[in-house]
Amino acid sequence: MSHPLAAFVSAAYRLEELPLDRGREVAFAGRSNAGKSSAINALTHRKKLAFVSKTPGRTQTINFFDVGRERRWVDLPGYGYAKVAKQEREHWGELISAYLMSRKSLIGLILIVDSRRGLTPLDGQLIEWFAPTGKPQHVLLTKSDKLGQRAAAQSLRDAENTLATQYSRFPQCTVQLFSAHNYRGVAQANSLLAQWLT
């Protein structure tokens, strides 16, 4: 089933440009190239959502999509691209940390992580910003189709271990395997999203 997505609502480069903080929204974050756009498209069962394909590191905005009445999916700008200017990185940090910490209608965060790479310190930074709100976060270990069964299982265990050891004070963080190519984990992730937005 595809979502009745998705009118593009708005893009924000500054906090003042965010849409009204009403209703419920979920945000998607991840390193550049981790597979965020592909994951969102797989979750909506659409090949080409309004998610523009982008040059990594280009100035990026927070993009809001309507998925129902006062329900939004939020695409956060990717991070971790080495060639981004320091000033842009700082702006990203200020915008994203403020958004994650203060946005009332934001009820959960989906973190997109390449299953071959695992959780990196930058991903941890987002977890650290958001977790004190007490709201749930969920990691999608994507591109799992590129791993064999054993390696995929290992990737899941590694991420669970990292969360249980380095981020043990944030028990509201869960994790699953995912693939935008063979749709592994799409149903699981969608049922979580539906729960969050209901």
The reply to whether 57 sits near ligand GDP by the rule CB under 6 A is no
The reply to whether 145 sits near ligand GDP by the rule CB under 6 A is yes
The reply to whether 60 sits near ligand GDP by the rule CB under 6 A is no
Tell the smallest beta-carbon distance from residue 49 to ligand GDP (Å).
Answer: 11
Instruction: Give, in degrees to the nearest 5, the angle at Cα 127 between 8 and 191.
Output: 55
d(CA 87, CA 121): 20
d(CA 140, CA 146): 14
Span interacting with ligand GDP, options 20-28, 31-39, 132-140, 149-157, rule CB under 6 A:
31-39
The reply to whether 72 sits near ligand GDP by the rule CB under 6 A is no
CA distances from 167 to 95, 113, 143, 171, 180 (A): 23, 16, 23, 8, 27
The reply to whether 103 sits near ligand GDP by the rule CB under 6 A is no
Tell the smallest beta-carbon distance from residue 33 to ligand GDP (Å).
Answer: 4
- Site of tokens 């200017």: 85
**Segment 115-144, which members bind ligand GDP (CB under 6 A)?**
142-143
The reply to whether 27 sits near ligand GDP by the rule CB under 6 A is no
Q: DSSP states of 156-181 as a string?
A: HHHHHHHHHHTTTT-TTEEEEE--TT
Q: Residues in the site for ligand GDP, rule: CB under 6 A? A: 30, 32-38, 78, 142-143, 145-146, 179-181
